[in-house]
C-alpha cells in the first residue's frame, strides 16, 4: 500500500518526462533501501531510462528529483539523486505512522491477499502405503502443507490432496512380505527376499493379523494380506501426519479412482484418438518426445498391463477436469525426470500446461553428532517421523523443514536442536511473541488511540514499522514463487528487530502517549508473528 502510493506519486510526477517512450507504472522499481544513508526507498528510474531519452543518468535523476520534491512535499522529507543515478527518497514519519495505524486496524487479516476466486490443488507426500513415513516424506509434508496454508492466506481456495499408490507390484509385494512375517511368527523359517519389505513394522502387523483372524487359511490370500497391510499402514501414515499438524482434504486412491472407474479407459481412448500413441515391440508407446521430452515412453506393457506412467496421466487428466487454476505437485527431487514426461503428456492432451506446476524437494540429511543417519527404506532402518518426534518438538521439526529453499539439500543436525535452544530459530521467534504477551498482561487498554502512533520516532521504531510493512510483500512473494522458506527468514528478521527494540527502550513507559504508541506497535508485531508461525505450522505459546 505504501509502495503503491509512492509509485503512483512518482508516476504522476515524472510521466511528462517520458511522453515519447513506452512508460507505465510497472516500469517503476521501488525498493526499501538496505543502507539507511540512502533514505527509506530508492528507485533506479534514472539509470534505467536515461539512455532511452538521451540524457546522462545523473541529469535525468536530478530532473526527476526536483519534480518529486516539488510535487510531493506532503510525503517526502527529502529526495536526492546520488551517483551513479539512484534516487533516494526519505519519507516523512507521518507516512509510517499512518501506515502502522492502517495495519493495526486490519489486525489478523494484515498480509492476507484478496479473495481470488481461484481453486488451487496442492498434492504432496503421496508416499506409498508400504511403509512408515520417514525423513524424506517429512520435508515434503512440511513444505506442501505450509505452501497450501500460504496460498490460502494469499486468497486462493486451496485443496490438499494425497495420492495413494495402492495398486501394482509394490502392494502385491507388501502382501507377500506380510505372508512371510506371519509364517515366521508361526514358526516357519521362511526368508524375506531381497526386495521384500524388511521393516519392523511389518512384524507388528503380522502379529496383529494373527491376533485378529481365527482362520490361518486367510494368511494365504495375498490380495487380502496386501489390503490388510495397506489399510494398517495408511492409518499409521495418517496418525504420523496428524502429529505434525498435516491434514488432507482429499485422499485419492489409485485403485478405486483410477482403476475401478472408466478414467483409465477414457484416457487411453483419448490418447489413441489424438493419435499420440503407437505400437512397438508388442507394447504401446506415447509420443512424449514430440512435446518436449527426450524419449517416448511405454504406457501398455507387453503383458498388456498399464504402466505407472499411464496411470499418472489418467490421474492428472482427472485433476485438470476438476477446474483448478493451479495444480501443484510437490515431488521429491528423485522424480524430476517425470516432470518433462508428464508435461509432455498433458500437452499432447491439449491441457494448459502453465497450470501444472512442480515444487521439487531436495534431500535432507539427518545428522546426529555429525554422523549421517542412513535412511534406506528396504533395510527398515530408516528414521521415521515418529522416531524423530520422540526427540524433537513438533514446532521445531516443522520450522526446520521449511527453513531452507526446497531446491537446496541441507543437513539437519539433530544434536543441535536437542542440546539447548541457542541454535533454535523457532524458539527465538516464539520468545518474541511470549515477551510481547507478557507485556500485554501488565496493561489494561481496550481502545487504542491511533493518533498516538506519532510518538514513534526513534530509529528502531521506524525500522520495525518498515519490517512490518514488508510482511505483505513477503507473503505475495512466497505465494508466487511457492517458497515457504521466505517466511521463515522474514520471521527471524522481525523477531530480531523486536528483541533489539525491546532491549533499547522500556515499552511500559510512564508517559501514557509513548506507552500507547509502543503497544500499538508491538501488538502488530505479535499478530504477524502468530500468523507467520501458523503458516509454517508452528504454534505461538504465550509463555516460555
Partner RNA sequence: GCGCCAGUAGCUCAGCUGGAUAGAGCAACGGACUUCUAAUCCGUAGGUCGGGGGUUCGAAUCCCUCUUGGCGCGCCA
- Within 347-386, the residues that bind RNA by CB under 7 A are 360, 362-363
Q: Enumerate residues 111-170 that contact RNA by CB under 7 A.
A: 128, 165, 167-170
Binding mask 387-406 for RNA (x = CB under 7 A): ----------------xxx-
Our CB check for RNA shows the closer of 274 and 544 to be: 544
Residues 297, 284: Cα–Cα separation, whole Å: 9
531: contact with RNA by CB under 7 A:
no
The H or E element that residue 251 is part of is strand 250-253
CB of 207 to RNA, least distance (A): 26
Closest by CA position to 295, among listed 344, 250, 331: 344
**Among residues 282, 290, 372, 459, which is the contact residue for RNA, using CB under 7 A?**
282
Q: Does 542 bind RNA (CB under 7 A)?
A: yes
Nearest approach in angstroms of CB 323 to RNA is 26
For residue 409 the three cell numbers come to: 539439500
Question: What is d(CA 317, CA 353) in angstroms, rounded to the nearest whole number?
Answer: 12
CA 499, 503, 505, 506 dihedral sign is positive
Which stretch in 61-69, 235-243, 306-314, 525-533 sits in contact with RNA by CB under 7 A?
Answer: 306-314
Within residues 233-272, the interface with RNA by CB under 7 A covers 254
The single residue listed with the C-alpha cell 510518538 is 455
Q: Which stretch binds RNA (CB under 7 A): 32-40, 62-70, 132-140, 207-215?
A: 32-40
54 binding RNA? (CB under 7 A) = no
DSSP codes joined into one string, 334-395: GGHHHHHHHHHHHHHTT--GGGEEEEEE--EEEEETTEE----TTTT-SPBHHHHHHHS-HH
How many residues bind RNA (CB under 7 A)? The answer is: 92
- Region 181-210 residues binding RNA, contact defined as CB under 7 A: none
Whether 377 contacts 131, CB under 8 Å? yes
> Rounded to an integer, what distance in angstroms lies between the CA atom of residue 24 and that of residue 259?
53
Count of positions (residues) in the chain: 544
Among 5, 192, 224, 283, binds RNA (CB under 7 A): 283
Q: Which residues contact 258 (CB under 8 A, 6 or more apart)?
A: 167, 264, 311, 314, 315, 318
Stretch touching RNA by CB under 7 A, among 174-182, 235-243, 289-297, 342-350: 289-297
Q: With CA atoms as reference, report the closest residue to 252 among 310, 306, 316.
A: 316
Q: Which of residues 83-102 bind RNA (CB under 7 A)?
A: 84-86, 88
* Residue 544: CB minimum distance to RNA, A: 4
Nearer to RNA, 247 or 438 (CB): 438
What are the residues whose beta carbons fall under 8 Å from the beta carbon of 415, sequence distance 6 or more?
A: 367, 368, 369, 370
Contacts 24+ apart (CB under 8 A), 199-207: 199/131, 199/132, 199/377, 199/380, 200/380, 201/131, 201/132, 201/233, 201/236, 201/380, 202/177, 202/178, 202/229, 205/178, 205/181, 205/229, 205/232, 205/233, 206/178, 206/181, 206/182
Comparison of 243 and 298: residue with beta carbon closer to RNA? 298
- Closest distance to RNA from the beta carbon of 120 (Å): 20
- Closer to RNA at the Cβ: 82 or 93? 82
Indicate the SS3 state at residue 250: strand
**CB closer to RNA out of 210 and 425:** 425
Q: How far is the CB of 340 from RNA (least distance, A)?
A: 7
Site track 329-348 with RNA (rule: CB under 7 A), x = hit = ----xxxxxx-x--------
Position among 409, 445, 449, 459 found at the interface with RNA (CB under 7 A): 409
Which of the stretches 80-88, 144-152, 237-245, 529-537 binds RNA when contact is defined by CB under 7 A? Answer: 80-88
User: What does the alpha-carbon distance between residue 159 and residue 122 come to, in Å, rounded to a whole number?
Assistant: 6
In the set 281, 354, 447, 510, which binds RNA (CB under 7 A)? Answer: 281
Output 82 or 185, the one with its CB closest to RNA: 82
Shortest CB 217 distance to RNA, Å: 28
Site residues for RNA, 461-520, by CB under 7 A, read 477, 483, 485-486, 489, 492, 496, 499-500, 502-508
Question: Minimal distance in Å, beta carbon 441 to RNA?
Answer: 8
> Is 57 among the residues that bind RNA (CB under 7 A)?
yes
| Cβ within 8 Å of residue 485, ≥6 positions away | 402, 403, 404, 405, 406
Identify residues 424-443 at the interface with RNA (CB under 7 A): 424-425, 427-428, 431, 434-435, 437-439, 442
Q: How far is the CB of 405 from RNA (least distance, A)?
A: 3
Q: 9 vs 90, which CB is nearer to RNA?
A: 90
Q: Which CB sits closer to RNA, 182 or 482?
A: 482
DSSP code of 413? Answer: E
Residue (213 or 307) nearer to RNA, CB? 307
CB atoms under 10 Å from CB of 149, counted, come to 19
Question: What's the 3-state SS for 280-328?
Answer: ECCEEEECHHHHCCCCCEEEECCCCCECHHHHHHHHHHHHHHCCCCEEE
Q: Does 56 contact RNA by CB under 7 A? A: no
Given the C-alpha cell 522424480, which residue does it identify?
335
Give Rg (Cα) of the chain.
29
Please say which residue, 287 or 435, places its beta carbon nearer to RNA: 435
- Judged by beta carbon, residue 174 or residue 202, the one nearer RNA is 174
Between 47 and 389, CB nearer to RNA: 47
SS3 45: helix
CA distance 375 to 478: 30
Amino acid at each position: 500500500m505504501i509502495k503503491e502510493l509512492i509509485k503512483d506519486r512518482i508516476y504522476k510526477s515524472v510521466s511528462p518526462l517520458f511522453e515519447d517512450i513506452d512508460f507505465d507504472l510497472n516500469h517503476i522499481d521501488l525498493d526499501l533501501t538496505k543502507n539507511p544513508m540512502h533514505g527509506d526507498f530508492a528507485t533506479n528510474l534514472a539509470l534505467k531510462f536515461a539512455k532511452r531519452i538521451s540524457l546522462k543518468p545523473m541529469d535525468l535523476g536530478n530532473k526527476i528529483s526536483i519534480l518529486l520534491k516539488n510535487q510531493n512535499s506532503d510525503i517526502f522529507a527529502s529526495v536526492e539523486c546520488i551517483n551513479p543515478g539512484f534516487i533516494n527518497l526519505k519519507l516523512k514519519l507521518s507516512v509510517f505512522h499512518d501506515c502502522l495505524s492502517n495495519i493495526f486496524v486490519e489486525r489478523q487479516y494484515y498480509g492476507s491477499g484478496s479473495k481470488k476466486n481461484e481453486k488451487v490443488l496442492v498434492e504432496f507426500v503421496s508416499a506409498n502405503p508400504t511403509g512408515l513415513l520417514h525423513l524424506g516424506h517429512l520435508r515434503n509434508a512440511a513444505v506442501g502443507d505450509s505452501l497450501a496454508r500460504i496460498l490460502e492466506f494469499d486468497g486462493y481456495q486451496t485443496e490438499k490432496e494425497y495420492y495413494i499408490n495402492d495398486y501394482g507390484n509394490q502392494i502385491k509385494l507388501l502382501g507377500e512380505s506380510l505372508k512371510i512375517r506371519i509364517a515366521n511368527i508361526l514358526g516357519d523359517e521362511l526368508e524375506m527376499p531381497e526386495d521384500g519389505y524388511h521393516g519392523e513394522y511389518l512384524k507388528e502387523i503380522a502379529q496383529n493379523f494373527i491376533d485378529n483372524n481365527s482362520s490361518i487359511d486367510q494368511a494365504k490370500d495375498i490380495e487380502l494380506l496386501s489390503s490388510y497391510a495397506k489399510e494398517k499402514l495408511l492409518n499409521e501414515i495418517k496418525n504420523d501426519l496428524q502429529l505434525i499438524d498435516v491434514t488432507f482434504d482429499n485422499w485419492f486412491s489409485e485403485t478405486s479412482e483410477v482403476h475401478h472407474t472408466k478414467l483409465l479407459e477414457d484416457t487411453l481412448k483419448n490418447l489413441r484418438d489424438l493419435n499420440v500413441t503407437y505400437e512397438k515391440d508388442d507394447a504401446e508407446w506415447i509420443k512424449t518426445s514430440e512435446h518436449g521430452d527426450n524419449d517416448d515412453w511405454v504406457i501398455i506393457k507387453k503383458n498388456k498391463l498399464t504402466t505407472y506412467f499411464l496411470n499418472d496421466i489418467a490421474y492428472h487428466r482427472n485433476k485438470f477436469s476438476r477446474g483448478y487454476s493451479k495444480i501443484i505437485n510437490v515431488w521429491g527431487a528423485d522424480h524430476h525426470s517425470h516432470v518433462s514426461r508428464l508435461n509432455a503428456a498433458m500437452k499432447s492432451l491439449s491441457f494448459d500446461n502453465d497450470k501444472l506446476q512442480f515444487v521439487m524437494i531436495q534431500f535432507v540429511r539427518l545428522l546426529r553428532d555429525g554422523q549421517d543417519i542412513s535412511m534406506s527404506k528396504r533395510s527398515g532402518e530408516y528414521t521415521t517421523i515418529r522416531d524423530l518426534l520422540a526427540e524433537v518438538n513438533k514446532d521445531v521439526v516443522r520450522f526446520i523443514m521449511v527453513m531452507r529453499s526446497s531446491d537446496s539439500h541441507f543437513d539437519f543436525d539433530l544434536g543441535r536442536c536437542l542440546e539447548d535452544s541457542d541454535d533454535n530459530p523457532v524458539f527465538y521467534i516464539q520468545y518474541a511473541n511470549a515477551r510481547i504477551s507478557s507485556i500485554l498482561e501488565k496493561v489494561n487498554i481496550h481502545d487504542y488511540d491511533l493518533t498516538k502512533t506519532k510518538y514513534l520516532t526513534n530509529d528502531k521504531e521506524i525500522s520495525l514499522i518498515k519490517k512490518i510493512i514488508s510482511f505483505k510483500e513477503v507473503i505475495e512473494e512466497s505465494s508466487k514463487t511457492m517458497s515457504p522458506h521466505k517466511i521463515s527468514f522474514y520471521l527471524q528478521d522481525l523477531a530480531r528487530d523486536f528483541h533489539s527494540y525491546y532491549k533499547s527502550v522500556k515499552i511500559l513507559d510512564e508517559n501514557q502517549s509513548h506507552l500507547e504508541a509502543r503497544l500499538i506497535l508491538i501488538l502488530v508485531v505479535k499478530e504477524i508473528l502468530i500468523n507467520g508461525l501458523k503458516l509454517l505450522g508452528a504454534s505461538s505459546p504465550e509463555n516460555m
